[in-house]
Amino acid sequence: MAEALRVGIAGLGTVGASVARVLSDKAAELTRQCGRPIVVAAVSARDASKDRGVDLSSATWFVDPVKLAEQADIDVFVELIGGDEGPARASVTAALEAGRHVVTANKALLSRHGVALAEIAETKGVLLNYEAAVAGGIPVIKTMREAMAGNSVSRVFGILNGTCNYILTRMEAEGLSFDACLKDAQRLGYAEADPTFDIEGHDTAHKLSILTALAFGTKIAADDIYMEGISNISQADIRAAGELGYRIKLLGVAQRTESGIEQRVHPTMVPTASVIAQVHGVTNAVAIETDILGELLLSGPGAGGNATASAVVGDIADIAKSRPGFQHGPVFGWPAKELKPYKKAQMRSHAGGYFIRLTVHDKIGVFAAIAKRMADNDISLESIVQHSAGADNQKTVILVTHETTEAAVRKATDGITKDGHLTDKPQVIRIERAG
C-alpha cells in the first residue's frame, strides 16, 4: 500500500472540524477507496484547547496558517479560513508555491484571485480543488471539469444560496414576511448575524462567476455580474406569482450570447411545474445546458457542515488516488494562461418577459398613463390585473410583459414614478418560461 497522504487543515470551525471528524471516522473506508491512508498531520486554529469533537492530539499545531502551508510535513493544504484576502490568500499562495496540493471551500477567494492561483498550481504541477466552494455537497465542479468533455455549454443557472431559498420557501408556504423568515433563518443558523452577503446576492454571484469560467473558458469576472437580492420581495409578490402560475427563486444565470457572456443574479419567477421550482428549503440546484448532453440538473444540500465537509473530503480523496507523475487537468477546465478575457454581453431582450407590480393612487387617468408609458417604450403587455392595495385610495396594478429589454422596463417605470402616480417603489422581477 502507498504511504499515507498527509493533510494540513487551516481553520477548525464548523466545516474544518467536520472534515477532521470524517477523515477520522471513515479512515478505514477511505483507505480502501483511495489505496492509501489519509491522516491529519497538522492543523491551524486560534484555540488549541477547544473541544471540537475529534482527537487531534497527534497533529502538529500552528497558530499561523502560512507557516503551516510553508513548514508542515504535509502533502495537501486544506484552507477553510474564509475571506478573499489576509491569511486565506497568503496561506493558499504559500502552499501552492511550496508545491503542495490545495483544497479550499473559499468561493470569495476564488472569485477574486482564482485565475492567479490556478496559474501557480498549473506551473507547479499540483492540484487546486474547490468542489465545496460552489453548491455545497453537489458535485457540480467535478461534473463540469471531468464528466462533460466535448460538450459545449450554452447556459448554466441555478439556486446557489440555501439561505435565500429557505426564506422564499417559508414565505410562500406559511405566508410570513421576509423579515420574519430572515429572523427564523438566523435563529436556525441558516443565516449570519449580518445576512447581507447572502440576501443581497453576493454569495450567489461569487459562485456564479466560478461556474462561468468553467462553462465558457473565460477569466473570472465577479465584478461584472448584474445583481439583485431578495430583501425587497414581499408577500404581494409571492401571492401574485402563485396566481400567475409561478414561484419566486433567487437564480444565478450565465449564458453565452452573440455579443458575449451574460451573468446575472436576481429574483426570478419560474413556472411552478418546472423542476427548478420544486427545489425547496436550503437545497441548491444547478442546471447545465449543453449541445451533446442536453440539460443536466444537479440538486442536493447546498450548505452546512456535513455537506461542505463531504465535498472537501471528496477533493482530498481525489488527490489521494492520484499518483506521482500523473498529469493533472487544468483548474478551470482550460489552462489558466489560455482563459479568454471576459466579454460582457450587450443588453438584449429577455424572452421570458417581466412581472411589474405598481402600487398607485386610485384616481382617474392613472391606468391610461401607465399604459401610455409602456407603449412609448415599445413594451407589449401580456396581462394587466388590478387589486385593492389594502389602503384607502390605493390600487395594486400587476403587469406581465412579453419579450422586452431591461432598459425599456426601467425607463417605463422611471417615467411612471416621475408622473407621480406611485405610492411605493415599483417591483420588477424577470420571468423565466422554462427551467
Sign of CA dihedral 73, 74, 75, 80: negative
* In a shared domain, residues 112 and 225: no
**Catalytic residue from among 26, 50, 107, 207:** 207
- 175: CATH: 3.30.360.10
pTM higher than 0.75 for the full model?
yes
Higher per-residue pLDDT: 131 or 329: 131
pLDDT band at 267 (very low <50, low <70, confident <90, very high): very high
Give the total number of structural domains in the chain. Answer: 3
Look at residue 393 in the predicted model and tell me its pLDDT: 80
* In a shared domain, residues 27 and 126: yes
- 404: CATH: 3.30.70.260
Identify whether 207 is a catalytic site residue.
yes
* In a shared domain, residues 273 and 378: no
* In a shared domain, residues 124 and 173: no
Mean pLDDT along residues 11-19: 94
Each residue's pLDDT tens digit, 46-67: 888 898 989 999 999 999 999 9
Each residue's pLDDT tens digit, 76-113: 999 999 999 999 999 999 999 999 999 999 999 999 99
* In a shared domain, residues 268 and 378: no
Residue 343 lies in a domain: no
Q: Which residue segment(s) compose the domain that 101 sits in? A: 5-137+305-338
Percent of the chain with pLDDT over 70: 97
* In a shared domain, residues 31 and 65: yes
Residue 293 lies in a domain: yes
* In a shared domain, residues 244 and 356: no
* In a shared domain, residues 256 and 177: yes
Q: Which three cell numbers stand for residue 290?
A: 449543453
